[in-house]
Amino acid sequence: MNFNKHLNIEGQHAFLGASKYHWINYTEEKVIDSYSKFMATQKGTILHEFAAQCIRLGQKLPKSQKTLNMYVNDAIGFKMNTEQVLFYSENCFGTADAISFRNRLLRIHDLKTGVTPAHMEQLLIYVALFCLEYKFKPSEIDIELRLYQSDEILFHKPSVDEILPIMDKIVTFDKVLTKIKSEED
């Protein structure tokens, strides 16, 4: 048998695809809700790309109390890098939406486009990764974190006691995973 060629969709996954089979148990309401969340995620990805381009180009947005505008304008105003990978190991790394480090002040901003309330833990992990990668003790630097969501900015100045346990877990868990991987070879 000669199977049909679908070159335009090879490697992609359909929303109602076999690899995400749970939908066969959904009601119509559940599939609508699930698709709405899927589309919101897609929109969030596009908004992050747009924001990163604005920041890279230094293109401020009209001043307003809108999440995206505040995030982009603040990142440009603070001369932040965007989409910066923070790397400890193959097992633990992440990409900060916006980051800068000047005069011993680490600033990390995160853009949240969804409605589920964001948590500061993600930014604390970025701080831990920064400290591990660049060999800083959290006690040697000042830190300011910001979450931009729902037309609000949440500020946080974490303590050393918040960062050190995360750094310790990264180091410990990385050793555990590295050992497991070496035993698989």
Please report the pLDDT score of residue 116 as a whole number: 84
- Which residues have a Cβ under 8 Å from the Cβ of 69 and sit 6 or more positions away? 61, 62, 63
Please report the pLDDT score of residue 14 as a whole number: 86
What is the chain's Cα-based Rg? 20
pLDDT digit string, tens, across residues 59-78: 999 999 999 999 999 999 99
pLDDT top residue among 7 and 82: 82
- Distance of alpha carbon 13 from alpha carbon 58, whole angstroms: 35
DSSP state of 1: -
pLDDT digit string, tens, across residues 3-56: 898 888 888 888 888 888 999 999 999 999 999 988 998 999 999 999 999 999
Domains and CATH numbers, the chain: 80-184 (3.90.320.10)
> Among residues 158, 73, 153, 64, which one has the least CA distance to residue 110?
153
79 burial class (0-12, 13-18, 19+ CB within 10 angstroms)?
exposed
> Among residues 152, 149, 91, which one has the least CA distance to residue 125?
91
Tell me the whole-structure pTM to 2 decimals.
0.88
pLDDT digit string, tens, across residues 159-178: 999 999 999 999 999 999 99
The pLDDT of residue 185 is above 80: no
The pLDDT of residue 152 is above 90: yes
Both tokens of 184, joined, read 């698989």
> In which element (H, E) is residue 32 found?
helix 28-57
Please report the pLDDT score of residue 42 as a whole number: 92
Residue 5, SS3 per DSSP: coil
